[in-house]
Amino acid sequence: SPQPRSKKRSRRHQRFMERRALLEQKGLLSPRRRLGGQATPDGLAEVAPQRGKVPRPKQGVSLSPSTSPDSMARHHSALLSQDGSGGGTSAGVRASPPAPRPGKYVAIDCEMVGTGPRGRLSELARCTVVSYEGDVIYDKYVQPELPIVDYRTRWSGITKRHMKNAIPFRAAQAEILKILKDKIVVGHAIHNDFQALKYFHPKDRTRDTSRIPLLNQKAGLPVRVSASLKSLAKHLLQKKIQIGCKGHSSVEDAQTAMELYRLVEVQWETELALSLPPRPPSPTDPSTDSDQYMDDQYWPTDLIAGSL
C-alpha cells in the first residue's frame, strides 16, 4: 500500500539528512545554501567569501573512482593518459585515455662484456635508445664496475679502445633511466637489457618483440619459438642485420626492434587490452550522482553507529 512505501522513503530521507548534517559538522560538506526558501539541487553550493578575505579552498572527499583497467589499457596503458587534463573531474572519469604520443615510445638495446670469474658475468658496455621514428636519443659506451675479462667483440662489437672515453656505469644508468621514465619501452629479449642496467621497468609499459606470437605468425615461424631479431628482420622487414665479424650494432638492433613493434602495434595493443578483466557494471554514474554515497554500503560501520 502507499502508506508503508511513504514511511520507508521518510526513514531513508531521515538517515540521509542525518548523515549530511554529520558531514557538514565534520567540515567535509559545505552547508546548504537556500535560494528563495529552497535548497540548491546538490546541496554543495559554495559559501560566498567575505569581502577582503581570501576564500578557503573547499575540502571534501573525492567521489570519483579510478579509471577502469580495460579503459586504461585500451590503447597503450594508463600510465600514458596522465597529460594533466581533467584529472579527478567527472569529465576525466567518463572520457577514455588519449592515445599516447610518439614521444612516449622508445626502443632500447644494450651490448654487454664479460666480467668476473672467467668473464661469465655480463655487464653493460654500450647502450642505445631510439625514438618511435628510429632517431638516436642516447648512445654511449659504458665502463663496467668490474674489470673486463672478455670483450665478446664477435657479438658485442666492443673493443678496448671503446672504453677510453666510456662513462662510469652509475652515471650512464642515471641518464638512461631518466629517459625510460614513464615511457613504453620496446626491445628484443629486453629482460637482458634491463638486467644489464640493474633495473626493472613496469611490465605493462614493456614490449618485448621476442615474445609476441603475432610477429612469428607474420614471419611464418612457429608461434611458440622465440625467434631471433635477425630472423624476424629478414622475414618481415627484408633487412639484413648482425652480419660480419665486427659484432652487433646496438643502434641497428634498437631501430629494428621499433620497426617490428610498429608493424603489429595496433593488433598487439588491442590484444593486450582484451586480456585484462572487464570493468564491473555500475548501476549509476558516480560522477553525476553523489547522493548514492549516502547509502549504507558506502559508510563504515563505526561511523554509522556513531551518527544514528
Q: Please give the grid coordinates belonging to residue 228.
A: 631471433
Domain ranges of the chain: 105-275
What is the tens place of the pLDDT at every residue in 235-270? 999 999 988 777 789 999 999 999 999 999 999 999
Q: Using 50, 70 and 90 to split pLDDT, how confident is the model at 67?
A: very low
When pLDDT is averaged across residues 204-228 and rounded to a whole number, the result is 91
Q: Using 50, 70 and 90 to split pLDDT, how confident is the model at 15?
A: confident
**pLDDT(166) > 60:** yes
In the prediction, which pLDDT does 45 show? Answer: 40
What are the beta bridge partners of residue 122?
114
In the prediction, which pLDDT does 101 show? Answer: 74
Higher pLDDT, 260 or 273: 260
Distance separating alpha carbons of residues 226 and 254, to the nearest angstrom: 17
Neighbours of 36 (CB within 10 A): 4
In the prediction, which pLDDT does 25 show? Answer: 76
Strands (E), 76-187: 105-115, 121-131, 136-143, 148-150, 167-168, 184-187
Distance separating alpha carbons of residues 78 and 290, to the nearest angstrom: 25
**pLDDT(106) > 60:** yes
Q: Using 50, 70 and 90 to split pLDDT, how confident is the model at 285?
A: very low
**pLDDT(298) > 80:** no
Class assignment of domain 105-275? alpha beta
Q: Using 50, 70 and 90 to split pLDDT, how confident is the model at 278?
A: low
What is the tens place of the pLDDT at every residue in 220-237? 988 888 899 999 999 999
Distance separating alpha carbons of residues 76 and 103, to the nearest angstrom: 13
When pLDDT is averaged across residues 271-281 and rounded to a whole number, the result is 71
Higher pLDDT, 122 or 75: 122
Please give the full DSSP string across 253-267, using - where no structure is assigned.
HHHHHHHHHHHSHHH
Q: What is the pTM of this model?
A: 0.60
In the prediction, which pLDDT does 132 show? Answer: 96
In the prediction, which pLDDT does 6 show? Answer: 62
In the prediction, which pLDDT does 251 show? Answer: 95
Between 265-274 and 250-263, two packed helices, what is the crossing angle to 10 degrees? 70
Strand 184-187 to 167-168 pairing: unpaired
In percent, the amount of the chain with pLDDT more than 70 equals: 62
